[in-house]
Chain A
Amino acid sequence: MKVVREALRNVVSRGWQTVLLSAVLTGVLLVPQIWTVTDLNQALATENRLQSAGGYVFALSSDGGIEPDECLLLRTSSGVSASGVLSNRQEIVNLQASPATSYRLWSYQGDVPSLVFESFESPVRAQTEVLINGATADELAIEDGHSLYTTAAVLRVQVERSAVRVSELGRALLSPTPWLGVGSAAVPADCYVEAEPEHYALLINASGSLLSSVDDPVFVREIITRDAFTESPWRAVQGRSSRRSSEVAAGLVVGVAVILLRLRYAEIGLYRILGLGRAGSTLVQWIELVSMLTLGLIFSASTTAMFVWDPHLDTSGTILRLGLMAGATTHLLAAGATLAIFLLMPRGSTLSLLKDR
């Protein structure tokens, strides 16, 4: 019982260390994210390599989230605009915006989209009513003075021209024109728009709104590389940290692991000379291992839950999520160091455990 109490006292006393380390890790991971979110123009100016390598996907957000079947309208200083709507139906409606508005209905069978209806009324006249499949739905304001009635009918994926694609639950991507695109998602989420490099500045400065709530402005929350976007949401978040940040974090983790190993080694020696013997000192480490593992798994589960709950968080949510990730890393690291000790311990005599290393 004394051994158990002692182990728990150790876990508690290490609390401030894990909190401190988690905070440092969070900071290291957070710096590039803040930089990305707050300085888009600088990112565009400096990340030429990324631009030429594959372009960016712009994540558009609104404070209230973008609901399924929502229509997003973007306007730029040059007058270019585009809008579209996505829904969960097995159809795709692609609406191209000014100056020559057209609309197309795609049916999506399995992975193969097929064009079932196309209109080239150019431009769409004001209050023109278009019925698709006999059903009307949301109103889409394409340009001042123009409106269009159509079924809000698309699903999670759209295909148009050579631009593809997407995606996964909670994300969608549209690039119906060379300049701008619009999308929405199957769940309240960000909308992702892919743009060609020459239109980056236009898109950043575009004003966006939701058709259902013009007072709820849409803003460019962040930009991510196309490669990162095509990864899973989890990997995309990880990918947002710069390589340097990841290297620093990895170095930090390795350094801490080495220190933990060294400290644990000496601690076992100390417990042995205190009279706990091999079994007692092993039990102390086991209890700590289980405690750290449990805490690490709780942090991991919380991180995952946050992702499932809302894959795309605002800044405070991102900080919280990174904090949870760092907490999970720190505790699992401590558990790993203890586990490593179990593998190494049979080789160490008490005398060697006590030596400085």
Chain B
Amino acid sequence: MRVTCKEAHFQYPASSAPVFERLNLDICAGETVALVGPSGSGKTTLLSVLGGLLSVTGGSVTASRNGRPIPLATSCGWITQTTNALGSRTALDNAALGAYFAGAGNTWLNARSDAIVALRRLGLGSRLHSRSNTLSGGELQRVSIARALVSQKPIILADEPTGQLDQETTDRVMREIAESLSEASRILVVATHDEEVAAKCSRVLRVSMGMVSDIGPLR
């Protein structure tokens, strides 16, 4: 599994300056990459480009497995910055959706079983059947993480996944994410302001002033 950016360039139509330009990047299976930088520097935009939600305005961004190209948009599991969930559905339902739509053979029952395991590992065992609109921001964020992890997508893109979590929960969540990803050699790209989270990644990219610089691991 590999994600490759070649001379990638992105600029919003209404903007006079590019968010990034001439970006060359290779992310391989099993890598965990942190995107750091000040607010408004373009971390979420880069994440969206990597996930196929935005198209580059120059160059290319591709994903491949065993040398064969695969579509980016359907290869990514998302942990969104905003706490997106179906409010009328339970935490379990919301988490199970990730696995349910991940493959044609996944039944609703199997998806729920996977989701139960993931939610319990993330500390939400007692909230499985609570409706999403009764969950706190931190709980919703963990539901979103569980949804992405059970999706079995080869690339996980996380936008501030621990923004609403305390330090103890952050450590637990990051540990679970790391374990889950290493089992399947998946790629994690995480946009974060949290240096502790960045320090747990194998590689850190700093996004600033239209430039993306690879500064290696923090520790």
A contacts, CB < 8 Å to B: 2, 5-6, 9-10, 13-14, 16-17, 263, 266-267, 269-270, 273-277, 349-351, 354-356
Q: Is the CB of B101 within 8 A of A349?
A: no
Q: How many Å lie between the Cα of A2 and that of B96 in the bound state?
A: 13
The contact sample of 10 A-B pairs, CB cut-off 8 A, is A2-B101, A10-B86, A10-B88, A13-B86, A13-B88, A266-B82, A273-B76, A275-B73, A275-B151, A354-B84
Residues of B contacting A9 with CB < 8 Å?
89, 93
Complex: how many Å from CA A185 to CA B87? 51
A61–B18 alpha-carbon span in the complex (Å): 77
Residues of A within 8 A of B74 (CB): 275, 277
Contact of A354 with B82 at beta-carbon distance under 8 Å, contacts A2-B101, A274-B97, A274-B101 already known: yes
Inter-chain CA distance A350–B54, complex, in Å, is: 9
Q: Is the CB of B88 within 8 A of A17?
A: yes
Contacts of A275 in B (CB 8 A): 73-74, 101-102, 151, 153
Q: Is B48 an interface residue (CB 8 A)?
A: yes
B89: A residues at CB distance < 8 A: 9-10, 13
Q: How far is the CA of A38 from the CA of B98 in the complex (A)?
A: 55
Query: Cβ of A2: which chain B residues have Cβ within 8 Å of it?
Result: 100-101
A-B contact count (CB 8 A): 55
Chain B: interface size category: 20 to 34
Cα–Cα, bound, A277→B108 (Å): 19
Are B48's CB and A351's CB within 8 A? Answer: yes
**Which chain A residue lies CB-closest to B98?**
A274
Min CB gap B12→A, angstroms: 11
- Counting chain A CB atoms within 10 Å of each CB, the highest count among B86, B87, B89, B102 belongs to B86
The smallest beta-carbon distance between B171 and chain A, in angstroms, is 26
Q: Could you tell me if B82 and A6 are in contact, using CB atoms closer than 8 angstroms?
A: no
Given contacts A274-B98, A351-B53, contact A267 B86 (CB under 8 A): yes
Please measure, in the bound complex, the distance between the C-alpha atom of A42 and the C-alpha atom of B108, giving whole angstroms: 59
B86 to chain A, nearest CB (A): 6
Residues of the A chain whose Cβ atoms lie less than 8 Å from the Cβ of B20: none
Q: Is B85 an interface residue (CB 8 A)?
A: yes
Is B80 interfacial (CB-CB < 8 Å)? Answer: yes
Would A270 and B86 count as touching, CB distance under 8 A?
A: yes
Contacts A9-B89, A350-B53; A269 near B100 (Cβ below 8 A): no
Q: Is the pair A263, B87 in contact by a Cβ cutoff of 8 Å?
A: yes
**Does B10 have its Cβ within 8 Å of any Cβ on chain A?**
no
Contacts of B48 in A (CB 8 A): 351
Q: Are B86 and A351 in contact (CB under 8 A)?
A: no
Q: Which of B74, B84, B108, B147 has the most CB of A within 10 A?
A: B84
Residues of B33-73 at the interface with A, using a CB-CB cut-off of 8 Å, are 48, 51, 53-54, 73
Note all chain A residues with C-beta closer than 8 A to B88.
10, 13-14, 16-17
CA distance A349 to B52 in the complex (A): 11
Q: Among the listed B53, B85, B153, which residue makes an inter-chain contact with A270, where contact means beta carbons less than 8 Å apart?
A: B85
- Residues of A with C-beta under 8 A to B51: 273
Docked CA distance A79–B86 (Å): 68
**How far is A270 from B151 in the complex, measured between Cα atoms in Å?**
13
Contacts of B108 in A (CB 8 A): 5
Return the CB mask of B176-206 against A: 1 if under 8 Å, else 0.
Answer: 0000000000000000000000000000000
Nearest chain A CB to B93 CB, angstrom units: 7
Nearest Cβ on chain A to B138's Cβ, whole angstroms = 16
The chain B residue sitting closest to A269, CB to CB, is B84
Bound together, the chains give a CA A355 to CA B74 distance in angstroms of: 20
Known: A13-B89, A275-B151, A277-B74. 7 other contacts (CB 8 A): A10-B89, A13-B88, A14-B88, A16-B88, A273-B80, A277-B73, A356-B82
A355 contacts which chain B residues (CB < 8 A)?
82
**Assuming A13-B89, A273-B78, is B102 touching A349 (CB within 8 A)?**
no
Q: CA A266 – CA B88 in complex, angstroms?
A: 13
